[in-house]
């Protein structure tokens, strides 16, 4: 697919890997001779991310990346303001970094990482920070 025949918009499907991995990690700490607080904190964060993966969606248009929550737009990031982007550890699941003129952003990858990377390369591929 080329930039000329990009779909008007695409909404990425969610991925529940990251929240489930974090929640499971928290549960694995329970038998250790620590207090239950590390388990409670880590598992709570995993559950928070799980809720986010059910409610948040990324929508790509020709000009913007839009964050939707329960179908309502909560933030718009115009590609014209982007300086760079990179996916850190996308196979694990990892973190999505992008920098706009105004500020940098770090987001957990709560979406299909292959589709996310594909859409980013199609729309802002020249801004990718190459792995060294």
Chain position carrying tokens 């850190």: 88
The β-bridge partners of 66 are 59, 76
pLDDT at 5: 61
Q: In angstroms, what CA-CA distances link 105 with 31, 36, 122?
A: 36, 32, 20
pLDDT at 56: 93
- DSSP annotation string for 19-71: HHHHHHHHHHTTTSSS-SHHHHHHHHHHHHHHHHHHHEEEEEESSEEEEEETT
Domains identified in the chain and CATH numbers: 3-127 (2.30.29.30)
CB atoms within 10 A of CB 47: 15
Q: For the chain, which ranges sit under pLDDT 50?
A: none
Residue 89 and residue 118 in contact, taking contact as beta carbons nearer than 8 Å: no
Residues 98, 114: Cα–Cα separation, whole Å: 16
Contacts of residue 88, Cβ cutoff 8 Å, sequence gap at least 6: 94, 95, 96, 97
CA neighbor of 30 nearest in space, from 18, 43, 41, 39: 39
């Amino acid at each position: 697919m080329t930039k000329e025949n990009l779909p008007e918009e695409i909404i990425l499907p969610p991925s529940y890997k990251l929240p489930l991995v974090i929640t499971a990690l928290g549960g694995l700490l329970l038998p250790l001779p620590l207090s239950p607080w590390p388990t409670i904190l880590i598992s709570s964060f995993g559950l928070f991310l799980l809720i986010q993966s059910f409610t948040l969606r990324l929508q790509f248009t020709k000009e913007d990346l839009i964050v939707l929550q329960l179908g309502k737009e909560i933030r718009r990031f115009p590609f014209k303001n982007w300086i760079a982007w990179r996916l850190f550890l996308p196979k694990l699941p990892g973190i999505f970094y992008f920098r706009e003129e105004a500020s940098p952003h770090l987001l957990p990858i709560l979406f299909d990482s292959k589709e996310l990377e594909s859409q980013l390369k199609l729309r802002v591929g020249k801004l990718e920070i190459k792995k060294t």
